Amino acid sequence: MTQLAINGGQPTIDYEFQRYNPIGKEEKEAAVRVIESGILSDFLASWGPKFYGGKYVQTLEKNWAEKFNVKYAISFNSATSALTAAIGALNIGPGDEVIVSPYTMTASATAIIHFNAIPVFADIDEKTFNITAQSIEEQITPYTKAVMIPNIMGQAANYDEILRITEKHQLTIVEDTAQAPIAKYKNQYAGTIGNIGVYSLNRHKHIHTGEGGIAVTKDSDLAEKLMMIRNHAEAVVGLKGSDSLVNLVGYNLRLGEIEAAMGIEQLKKIDDLVQARINMVNKIEKQLMDLKGYIELPTIEKNATHVYYLMAIKYVPKYDRPHRDRIVDALCKEGVPIRKGFQKPLYLFPMYQKRIAYGKQGCPFTCPLYKGNVDYSKGICPNVERVENDLLMPFHVGKVDLNDSDIEKIGIAFHKVFSNLDQL
Cα–chain center distance at 39: 31
Supply the pLDDT for residue 204: 83
Write down the pLDDT at residue 31: 97
Reported as a single tens digit per residue, the pLDDT across 85-123 is 999 999 999 999 999 999 999 999 999 999 999 999 999
Average pLDDT, the chain: 95
> What are the phi and psi torsion angles at 384 (to 5°)?
-60, -50
Total number of residues shown for the chain: 424
Provide CB contacts within 8 A for 369, sequence distance 6+: 94, 95
Q: Is the pLDDT of residue 203 over 90?
A: no
* pLDDT tens string 232-259: 999 888 888 777 889 998 799 999 999 9
The pLDDT value recorded for residue 407 is: 97
Q: How far apart are CA 189 and CA 197, in angstroms?
A: 10
Q: pLDDT over 90 for what percent of the chain?
A: 92
The angle subtended at Cα 112 by Cα 106 and Cα 113, nearest 5°, is 85
Report the pLDDT averaged over residues 117-143: 97
Whether the predicted pLDDT of 135 surpasses 80: yes
- Band of the pLDDT at 76, cuts 50, 70, 90? very high
Residue 115: its H or E element:
none
Question: Which pairs from 291-294 meet CB under 8 Å and 24+ separation?
Answer: 291/414, 291/415, 291/418, 294/418
Rounded CA-CA distance 416/400 in Å is 22
The pLDDT score that the predictor gives to residue 143 is 98
Has residue 381 got a pLDDT over 90? yes
The number of C-alpha atoms within 13 Å of 327 and in the hemisphere containing its C-beta is 25
Confidence at residue 121, expressed as pLDDT on a 0 to 100 scale: 98
Q: pLDDT: is 1 or 153 the higher one?
A: 153
**What local confidence, expressed as pLDDT, does residue 334 receive?**
97
What pairing do the DSSP bridges indicate for beta strands 213-217 and 72-76? antiparallel
Rounded-to-integer distance, Cα 209 and Cα 197, Å: 19
**Digit-coded pLDDT (tens) for 404-423:** 999 999 999 999 999 999 99
- Say how far apart CA 97 and CA 348 lie, in whole Å: 18
What mean pLDDT comes out for the span 371-391? 97
Q: Measured between alpha carbons, how far is residue 392 from residues 115, 128, 368, 412, 421 in Å? A: 33, 11, 40, 20, 18
Question: Could you give the residue ranges of the DSSP H alpha helices within 140-256?
Answer: 159-168, 220-230, 233-240
**Strand residues in 285-404 grouped as ranges (E):** 295-296, 314-315
pLDDT at residue number 139: 98
Give the model's pLDDT for residue 314. 97
Amino acid at position 80, single letter? T
Specify whether the CB–CB gap between 162 and 147 falls below 8 A. yes
List pLDDT tens digits, range 57-70: 999 999 999 999 99
Least reliable range by pLDDT among 152-156, 175-179, 293-297, 359-363: 359-363
Angle between helices 257-288 and 404-418 (to 10 degrees): 50
What is the chain's percent helix, strand, coil content, to nearest 5?
A: 40, 15, 45
Domains of the chain: 5-21+270-342+385-423 (3.90.1150.10), 25-267 (3.40.640.10)
The pLDDT of residue 1: 64
| Each residue's pLDDT tens digit, 290-349 | 999 999 999 998 899 999 999 999 999 999 999 999 999 999 999 999 999 999 999 999
pLDDT at 168 over 70: yes
